[in-house]
């Protein structure tokens, strides 16, 4: 039996992405063993074939649960605020080893150490895209209206700036208005950055991209209805995501929320960072 024949082990963070992944995996006939590190979505215990609420710092408990069910392929999905979560976690011996192996406190350093620990335990860490490619939009308008000429100009500015900050591993989103950057995402996350931008200026355009060397096994950019609702509350007018490298959750709900708020949603190719 290959890793892709047996049950999948899912390490689930916050948000709707873990549910989407479980549903697609089961649609393909795969069983899913879920290790929910935040006890997030209430649907997960109902739809997973086996469900465990295991604290983030209990890496040994996650490994033991997966081995109990014969898991060989592991997937990661859902939001984890890496640094605050790690600092607040009660780490077991395996978790402390991950913390020591991380070169610094950047998300990529923490996650690379975590993935290495899983692989050292005998698991294959799979790509989210393997199961969620149908949620990745290609270039074009995703809503009921296209961006205006002014919004399109701000999107171009936002793509160029976002590509640079993503290459520096600072964040993956920016808010732009009239060609000026209003806010840049850092550790707080996209929705919090949108709210901060809205407090500074009405009419912002938000652009979200992936990192140039984004690891498809975790942390692909994700947007959905909550992103659009945050932008509406911030009095924003447009949302642009990187085509081919962003997961769009609940597309019907997202486009409906955008239409209700008059927000343009578009997928664009991202220029290389310079």
Residue 199: pLDDT band with limits 50, 70, 90: very high
Q: What is the mean pLDDT of residues 64-74?
A: 96
| Average pLDDT value for the chain | 89
Residue 115 to residues 23, 160, 188, Cα–Cα distance (Å) = 23, 30, 23
Better pLDDT: 79 or 272: 79
Helix axes 107-120, 59-68, angle to 10 degrees: 40
Q: Where are the alpha helices (DSSP H) in the chain?
A: 17-27, 44-47, 59-68, 82-88, 93-101, 107-120, 129-132, 149-167, 190-200, 225-233, 251-261
* Residue (of 48, 16, 51) closest to 31 by Cα position: 48
State how far the Cα of 270 lies from the Cα of 54, in Å rounded to an integer: 37
Q: What is the rounded radius of gyration, in angstroms, for the C-alpha atoms of the chain?
A: 19
- Residue 62 phi, psi (nearest 5): -65, -45
Please state the pTM of the whole predicted model. Answer: 0.85
Q: Which helix (H) or strand (E) holds 51?
A: strand 50-53
Better pLDDT: 108 or 36: 36
Residue 263: pLDDT band with limits 50, 70, 90: very high
State how far the Cα of 126 lies from the Cα of 65, in Å rounded to an integer: 18
Kindly state the greatest CA–CA separation across the chain. Answer: 57
Res 217: pLDDT = 85
Q: What is the mean pLDDT of residues 254-262?
A: 96
Res 188: pLDDT = 85
Res 123: pLDDT = 95
Residue ranges covered by each domain of the chain? 8-132, 136-268
Residue 202 has pLDDT above 90, yes or no: yes
Res 235: pLDDT = 97
Res 261: pLDDT = 96
Answer yes or no: are the C-beta atoms of 10 and 132 closer than 8 Å.
Answer: no
Q: Hey, what are 127's tokens?
A: 């790509």
Better pLDDT: 179 or 99: 179
Better pLDDT: 256 or 94: 256
Tokens 């993503």 belong to: 166
Q: Hey, what are 83's tokens?
A: 């640094």
Domain 8-132, classified CATH 3.40.630.30, yes or no: no
Q: Beta strand 222-223 with 247-248: parallel, antiparallel or unpaired?
A: parallel
* Residue (of 243, 221, 21) closest to 132 by Cα position: 21
Residue 273 has pLDDT above 90, yes or no: no
Q: What is the mean pLDDT of residues 255-269?
A: 96
Q: 228 by DSSP, 3-state: which? A: helix
Q: 218 by DSSP, 3-state: which? A: coil
Q: Where are the alpha helices (DSSP H) in 43-202?
A: 44-47, 59-68, 82-88, 93-101, 107-120, 129-132, 149-167, 190-200
CA angle at 58 for the pair 55 and 61, rounded to the nearest 5°: 105
Topology match between the domains 8-132 and 136-268? no
- Residue 79 phi, psi (nearest 5): -80, 130
CATH fold of 136-268: Cytidine Deaminase; domain 2 (3.40.140)
């Amino acid at each position: 039996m290959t890793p892709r024949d047996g049950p999948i082990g899912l390490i689930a963070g916050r948000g709707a992405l873990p549910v989407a992944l479980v549903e697609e995996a089961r649609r393909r006939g795969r069983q899913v063993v879920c290790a929910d590190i935040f006890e997030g979505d209430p649907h997960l215990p109902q739809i997973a074939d086996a469900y465990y609420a295991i604290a983030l710092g209990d890496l040994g408990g996650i490994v033991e649960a997966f081995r109990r069910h014969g898991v060989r392929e592991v997937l990661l999905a859902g939001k984890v605020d890496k640094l605050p979560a790690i600092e607040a976690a009660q780490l077991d011996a395996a978790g402390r080893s991950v913390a020591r192996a991380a070169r610094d406190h950047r998300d990529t350093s923490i996650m690379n150490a975590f993935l290495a620990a899983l692989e050292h335990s005998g698991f294959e860490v799979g790509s989210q895209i393997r199961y969620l490619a149908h949620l990745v939009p290609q270039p074009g308008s995703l809503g009921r209206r296209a961006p205006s000429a002014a919004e399109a100009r701000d999107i171009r500015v936002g793509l160029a700036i976002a590509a640079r900050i993503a290459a520096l591993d600072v964040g993956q989103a920016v808010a732009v208005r009239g060609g000026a950057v209003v806010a840049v995402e850092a550790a707080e996350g996209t929705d919090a950055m949108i709210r901060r931008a809205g407090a500074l200026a009405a009419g912002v355009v938000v652009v979200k991209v992936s990192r140039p060397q984004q690891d498809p096994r975790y942390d692909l950019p994700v947007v959905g209805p909550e992103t659009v609702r945050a932008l509406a509350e911030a009095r924003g007018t447009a949302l642009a995501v990187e085509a081919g490298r962003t997961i769009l959750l609940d597309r019907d709900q997202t486009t409906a929320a955008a239409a209700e708020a008059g927000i343009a949603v578009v997928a664009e190719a991202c220029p290389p960072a310079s």
